[in-house]
Amino acid sequence: MEKILTVTNLTKKFGYLTAVKNLSFSIEKGHVYGILGPNGSGKSTTLGIVLNVVNRTNGEFSWFDGNISTHEALKKVGAIIERPNFYPYMSAVQNLKLVCKIKEVSTGKIEEKLKLVGLLERKDSKFKTYSLGMKQRLAIASALLNDPEILILDEPTNGLDPQGIHQIREIIKKIAAQGTTILLASHLLDEVEKVCSHVVILRKGEKLYSGRVDDMLASHGFFELKTADREKLTTLLKENTSFGEIREENGLVTAFLTEKMDAGTFNRWAFDKGIVLSHLVKRKESLEEQFLTLTKNESN
Ligand code: ADP
Ligand code: MG
Map residue 93 onto helix, strand or coil.
helix
What values do phi and psi take at 260, rounded to 5? -65, 135
| Beta bridge partner(s), residue 281 | 224
Measure 187 CA to ligand 2 centroid, in angstroms. 8
Q: Please give the pLDDT value at position 263.
A: 93
Please give the DSSP secondary-structure letter assigned to residue 219.
S
- Ligand 1 neighbours, Cβ below 6 Å, are 14, 17, 19, 37, 39-45
Per-position b or e across 190-229, b if 16+ CB within 10 A of its CB: ebbbbbbebbbbbbbbebbebeebeebbeebbbbebebee
Angle in degrees, CA 77, 206, 63, rounded to 5: 25
Contact 125, 91 (CB under 8 A): yes
Measure 112 CA to ligand 1 centroid, in angstroms. 36
User: Which residue has its alpha carbon closest to ligand 1 atom 26?
Assistant: 14
Q: Please give the pLDDT value at position 245.
A: 82
Q: Please give the pLDDT value at position 175.
A: 97
**Rounded Cα distance, 246 and 238, in Å:** 7
Q: Which ligand is nearest to the CA of 153?
A: 2
Q: Please give the pLDDT value at position 287.
A: 61
Map residue 250 onto helix, strand or coil.
coil
Q: Please give the pLDDT value at position 257.
A: 86
Give average pLDDT by consecutive 10-residue segment, the chain, 300 residues: 94 97 96 95 97 96 92 94 91 97 93 97 97 96 97 96 96 97 94 93 90 73 92 94 87 88 94 95 73 56
pTM for this entry: 0.79
